[in-house]
Structure 1
C-alpha cells in the first residue's frame, strides 16, 4: 500500500512539472522558473521568428533599392559643379534614412539639407548642350555668360557692343550724305575735278572710320560667344567638340585652342588677303559698272551729251571693252568669296582633325619587315597541295 502511494505521488509530481508547449508560451518566465523548469525556446517559435525576420529584411531591401533608384535618377540630374556636395548629402541620407521630397514639392532632404533646384525647359536647362548654348548666345548676346553664371562679364559685353554700335551709327550718318553727293556727281560725269576729289577723300575717311567701328563691334560680339563656349562646363565635352565649335565661331580660334599657334598667321593672313581681294575687285566692278552705264547711255542718246562722253575715259574705250572689264572684276570678286568659304571650311576641318590627333597615340616603332614565306595551297590541276614560295612584308606605324 505504501509502495502504491509512493508511485502515485511520483506520478502527480511528474504531471505537475510537465506542461504543454502552448501553456509554456502563455506563461511568463518567472512562472516557469517557479515551476521548476528553465525557460526554453520552442522550435515553432524559433521558426516563426526567423520567417518574420527574413520578411522584414526583404521588405527593407526593396525599400532601400527603390529609394536608391529614385535618388540615383535625381542625382544624375544635378549639375557637374554640384558633385562636391554628393558625399555630404549621401552621408546624411545614410545616417538619417532621408530621401528627396516628391516631384513638385520643395526639394530638401528630411535631414534638413537644402537640395539645389533643377532647371528644366527649352530655354534654360542644366543639361543644355554646348552647341545650343552657342546658338542662343548668337541670337541673345550675354546668354552664355548668364548660363555660365559669369554675370560680371555682362557690363563689359553690353558696354563694348553698345559703344561700337553707337559710334558706327554716328559715323554712318556722316558717311551717307557724302556718298549720296558723290553718286550724284559721278552719275553725271566721272571727270576728275577738285570738288570731286575733296568729296571723295572726305567720304573715304568717313567710310574707314565706319568700318573700324563696325569691325570692333563684331569682334567683341564674337569674342563673347567664344568665351561662352570656352567656359562651358555643364556636361563633359571633349576637346574635339570645343575646338570645332570655336573654329566655327571665329577662324583661327580652334587652332589657338589646340595650341597650334604656328597655323594662326596662315589662317588670319589668308582671310585678310581674301577680304582685301574681295573689296578691291568689288570697287573695280563698281567703277567699270558706272563707266559702262554712262557710255551705254551716251551711245543710246548722244543728243543729251553735247560735250561728248562723260565717263572717266572720255570715250577712249568702247562699251564692249568696258563691259568685259566689269565682268572680269565681278567674276574675280565672286571667286574670292568662294575661296573664302572654302578656307573657312578648311580651317574647321583642320581644327577638328588636329584635336583628334592630340589624343592619338603614335608608337615609336615605325618599321617594315620583309621575310621569306613558305605556304601550301590546294591546286586542282595538280591534284593536291603544292608549296608556294614568296615574301611576307609587314608595316608598323
Structure 2
C-alpha cells in the first residue's frame, strides 16, 4: 500500500515544485513589467526644455511697420512705453517746422508786397502809429534777414524731423534683433580669475562657453 502511494506522492511534489517555479517566474515578469512602466512614466513626465526659436524676418517686419506708421514697430516688439516717446519726438520736430514755415511766409509775403509798391503789410506800421518820416517799422533789409533766419530753421527742423522718423525705424529694427539675442545658458560669457602657477599672481580674463 505504501509502495503504491509513493508515485502519487512524488507526482504531487513535482507538481508543487513546478507550480512554485512558474509562480516565481510570473512574479519576476510582472516586476519587470512594472519597472518598465515606471521608467516609461518617468520619461514621459520629464521636462524637455524648449529651444529659443528665432524669426529672421522679425526685424524686417518691425522696421516695415515703423516705416508705415511711426510707433507701430515698437508695438510689434511689445515696447509700448516707447510709443509716446516716438510721437513726442516727431511731433516736436513737426511743431518747430510748421512754426518756422509760418513765420517765413509772413515775412516773405510782406517783402513781396513791398517790392510790388504796397505799404499795407503787417510789419509796415506795427503799433498803428505811423513814423514821422513815413518809414516802415520793419525795413526791407530786416524783412530779408528774417526770411533767411526762418528759412534756415525751417529746413533744420525738417531735417531733424526726418532724422527722428528714421531713428524710429532703426530703433524698431534693432530692438527686434536684441529680443532674439541668445542669452541662454548654452552660450555664456563670464569673467574669470585664475591663479597663475608660474609667477604666483592672479590672471584676469573672460571665459566663453558653448554647450551643445
> TM over 0.5, yes or no?
yes
Residue 115 of structure 1 is matched in structure 2 by none
1: CA distance between counterparts of 2:207 and 2:194? Answer: 14
Secondary structure of the structure 1 residue equivalent to 2:181: coil
Residue 371 of structure 1 is matched in structure 2 by 194
Residue 312 of structure 1 is matched in structure 2 by 122
1: CA distance between counterparts of 2:114 and 2:200? Answer: 82
Give the one of 92, 106, 112 matched to 1:287: 106
| TM, length-normalised to structure 1 | 0.32
1: CA distance between counterparts of 2:116 and 2:160? Answer: 35
User: Over aligned residue pairs, what C-alpha RMSD do you find?
Assistant: 2.7
| Superposed CA offset, 1:102-152 (max 9, x none) | xxxxxxxxxxxxxxxxxxxxxxxxxxxxxxxxxxxxxxxxxxxxxxxxxxx
| TM, length-normalised to structure 2 | 0.58
Give the Å deviation of 1:253: 0.7
- Between Structure 1 and Structure 2, which shows a larger proportion of helix residues? 1
Residue 204 of structure 2 is matched in structure 1 by 393
Structure with greater contact order relative to length (CA < 8 Å, sep ≥ 6) = 2
Give the Å deviation of 1:345: 1.2
Report matched runs for 1:200-349 at 5 Å. Answer: 238-298=57-117, 309-314=119-124, 315-349=136-170
2: CA distance between counterparts of 1:319 and 1:374? Answer: 85
2: CA distance between counterparts of 1:276 and 1:367? Answer: 48
2: CA distance between counterparts of 1:296 and 1:368? Answer: 74
Aligned length: 141
Residue 352 of structure 1 is matched in structure 2 by 173
Residue 3 of structure 2 is matched in structure 1 by none
Secondary structure of the structure 2 residue equivalent to 1:261: coil
Q: Which runs of 5+ in 2 are unaligned?
A: 1-54, 125-135
Q: 1:311–1:367: structure 2 CA closer, same or farther, 3 Å change rule?
A: same
Give the Å deviation of 1:279: 1.3
2: CA distance between counterparts of 1:330 and 1:267? Answer: 26
Q: Which runs of 5+ in 1 are unaligned?
A: 1-235, 299-304, 376-387
2: CA distance between counterparts of 1:361 and 1:237? Answer: 13
